[in-house]
A = this chain, B = another copy of it.
Amino acid sequence: MDVLVPFAAGEPKTRLANVLEPNERAEFARAMLRDVCTAIDEAKASPTVLSTAHIDSEWPVIVDDQPLTIAVNDRLDPPIAVVMADLALATPDALSRLFESEGLVVIAPGLGGGTNALVVRHPDFYTDYHGASVTDHRRIASEIGAETETVDSFRLAVDIDEPDDLAELLLHGTGEASEWLRSAGFELSVTDGRVTVQRRTR
């Protein structure tokens, strides 16, 4: 299975700006990208990074600075998968469940209505990543008569966007990105029964 991995190379992870400096956000985003590509590789699929600018990578890179939806749709040649670059909890097992699901359109929903990962086997399907894309993708699939399968995965549902998501990475991550986060001084913090993160002063 060919897998597109869209990656915003310019100014990644702006919603982490309160807790990480720009150069740290860039490093952390690259670490997550490598974790995702490694997991795809271990699930016996072939990642291609679809990046908004040139980056060094051990996997093939296509550079396209168009908006996400357009850049993906221009290359949506079935059978193909699209897996977001910030799914730092993704494991080969979770991705295999995605790739092996048999629907013409297979969706792994993200928290907050996103579409974190997708398999497309119908030639008329197209993506629309704006807003509650999981609803839009179900509608588009229905309009072209392609039944939608849904993959029920916590590891594919959590994208690392905001400070609270870092807690999930510290709790469940096993790759380079969680390692990076620990080296940067982040640790779990339990307050009032809620789990968040705090950063040690160095």
A residues engaging B (CB < 8 A)?
91, 93-94, 97, 109, 111-113, 130-132, 134-135, 152-158, 164, 167-168, 171-172, 188, 190, 193-195
Contacts and interface: CB of A to CB of B under 8 A. Distances in A.
Contacts of A112: 164, 167-168, 194-195
A189 to B, nearest CB: 10
Given A152-B153, A156-B154, A195-B112, A132 B168 contact: no
Contact of A109 (B97, B152, B172, B190): B172
| Total copies of this chain within the assembly | 2
Q: Interface SS of chain A: helix, strand, loop or mixed? A: helix
A132 B93 contact: no
A155 B157 CA distance: 10
Contact of A131 (B130, B134, B156, B193): B193
A132 B94 contact: no
A131 B171 CA distance: 12
B153 A109 contact: no
Nearest to A161: B194
A3 B91 CA distance: 29
B93 A171 contact: no
Contact of A152 (B94, B131, B164, B171): B94
Contacts of A94: 152
A194 B131 CA distance: 6
A94 B168 CA distance: 20
A73 B195 CA distance: 23
21 contacts: A94-B152, A97-B152, A109-B171, A111-B111, A111-B158, A111-B168, A112-B164, A112-B168, A112-B194, A112-B195, A113-B171, A113-B190, A131-B190, A132-B171, A132-B190, A132-B195, A134-B171, A152-B154, A152-B155, A154-B156, A157-B157
